[in-house]
Structures are given as C-alpha cells and as structure tokens.
Amino acid sequence: MPRKPAPNSPPPHIPVLLDEVIAALAPAPGAVIVDATFGAGGYTRALLNAGATVHAFDRDPDAIAAGQAWPECAEQPPRLVLHLRRFSEMVAALAEAGVARVDGIAMDIGVSSMQLDQSARGFAFAADGPLDMRMSQDGPSAADFVNTAAEGDIADVLFNYGEERQSRRVARAIVAARPLETTGQLAAVVRKALGYHPGMPKDPATRSFQAIRIHVNAELDELNAALDASEQLLTPGGRLAVVSFHSLEDRIVKQFLREAGGAIANASRHLPQVAPANAPTFDHIAKAVRPSAAELARNPRARSATLRSAVRTAAPARHRRAA
C-alpha cells in the first residue's frame, strides 16, 4: 500500500501545466470545480488554496484512499468531496451528491505518475512487474487481454491505439509467446519483433504498452463520455481545461471543442456556408498550450502534454452521446 501524503503536504507528483490549468479555470472563492482525475491531488490542492470547493474523481482506490486524509474532507460542509468513480460518470455521481451544475472541470488524461512508478501496477516496463495496467484495479487485466484475445484483435488494438505500423508482426509474436505474465516478458517480445537495439531514441515497446493500456481501461471512450458530461455540467461561463499526452487524446479534445464551438464538419470554402445545427456550446476556445522549457527541465514527462481550454456558453447541451 503506498504511503499516504500528510494532509496539506505537497503532492508527490506535481501535474504538468499546473499554473496554466489554474489560470484557464480561474477559480474564485466559493466556486464548485471538478477535478476529474484526482491522482496525487496537485490540481485539487491549488483549487482548494484558491477557495474553491472540489469534487474529485478517480477510479483508482489508492488515490482516493490517500485523499481521504486531507482536512478539507472533514470540513462542514466539506470543501473536498472524493468520488471513487470513473470520470465518465460525473453527471450521475454529482447528481447523487446534489450538484447539478459546476463552475469548472479539469481533466488530466491518461496514466498518472504514481501508477507508472509502481512496478506492481504493471503500467511500465522500466522495472519488471505483473502485466496488469488496470487503473481501477478490477476487471480484465492486460495479461488477460494478450493471453486470450485473437491475433487480429491484438493487431487492431496496437494499430488503433498505439499507432504501431507493424502491429500484425507484433501481434503474431505476442500470440506465439503466450502465456505472458510480466511487463518484462511483453516488452522483450515486442522488442524482438521490431528489431530493438540499445541506443534507439525510443523504445519500440512504448507504443504497444500505450495501446494495451488504453484498451484495458477504455480510455478513449471514457474521454469522449467525460467531454459530453462537461457540456451538461458546466454552468454558463463555466470553464473546461483538458491536458492530454498523445495525439489520439488531443485529436478527440480538439475535435470536440471545434464542433462545440460551432464549426461545421467537412466544411468547404467552395460550398455555400451552412448554419450549424446547434448553437455553440463553448466559446473562447484557447490555442493549445505546451509546457515551457523551464517545466520540461523540471519534469521531462511533461514533454508531450497539451492543454486545451474553453468557456461554456448558455446554449443547451447537444447530447451527442450517452454520458
């Protein structure tokens, strides 16, 4: 069991683009903000320090257990409310807590540094550990997937979620090497299939690990549902800030905000302009923000982070999907 941080102590991992996320959310005293990905609580701590009330979500029971020691949970009424739920379930969870609208939502998509750094969680291959990768610590694991899925299904996951161009070769190697039980075993199989040698700028196993993790946790489906939830939950003038770490996530966020801002899909300058079917649900859509050189020097893991933010209008939610 990981050691719990002392109440009010700095979180063990500062989230990337912290100052930029807080600036985008502009929390005011008394505001109700959702931290959709609590993790070690870096965003939440800054929001609480600004006087906001925070509803923090995490599907990882370790993260929620650590947060329960924070003194804001014991205030009356509590200024920190923890939800052991997927962030795709925000609408239902907040309704159960008596909250219909919020002033801001922050999302930090993907695996947390805490999870990456614990070899027993099986997210990374820097140190050998069980082939797990489950954020919620329940349900089918990465080992279950690689040891039981059809070769074609594995190849599809590697190609679609890891953008692995040699996905069929890697999938064939995985099936031939079954059973696989540890991160080290899987990394070795992928490296051998792709001709890895020391000194390569990027370990080729990285793409396959990313793909399998995304599949096991249904991360892109979760992100789509959470974006739709933000449209339902944010009050007019409420602010959304989303940090993503790879092109698949960023593409989803960018397209969501583009459509929510009233852009017409596949619009052509050669055709007559058509009014959008719905009034824009977000405006003040900011340009993408990347980490500064100073932040990259402090935290190399921030190198692929992208922040996108926007402000909710008064238009009705579009209900693109079930949230």
Q: Give all domains of the chain, ordered by start, each with its CATH number.
A: 18-113+219-312 (3.40.50.150), 119-217 (1.10.150.170)
In this structure, are residues 57 and 76 in contact, taking their beta carbons and an 8 Å threshold? Answer: no
pLDDT of residue 229: 97
pLDDT of residue 316: 95
For residue 283, the tally of other CB atoms under 10 A from its CB is 14
pLDDT of residue 9: 41
pLDDT of residue 5: 41
d(CA 108, CA 241): 9
What are φ and ψ of residue 216, in 5° steps?
Answer: -60, -35
**Edge-to-edge, what's the strand order for the sheet holding 53-57?**
80-83, 53-57, 32-35, 102-108, 234-244, 306-312, 282-283
Model confidence pLDDT, tens digit, residues 149-160: 999 999 999 999
pLDDT of residue 66: 93
pLDDT of residue 7: 43
pLDDT of residue 290: 96
pLDDT of residue 323: 38
In this structure, are residues 314 and 236 in contact, taking their beta carbons and an 8 Å threshold? Answer: yes
List the chain residues with pLDDT less than 50: 1-11, 322-323
d(CA 241, CA 24): 6
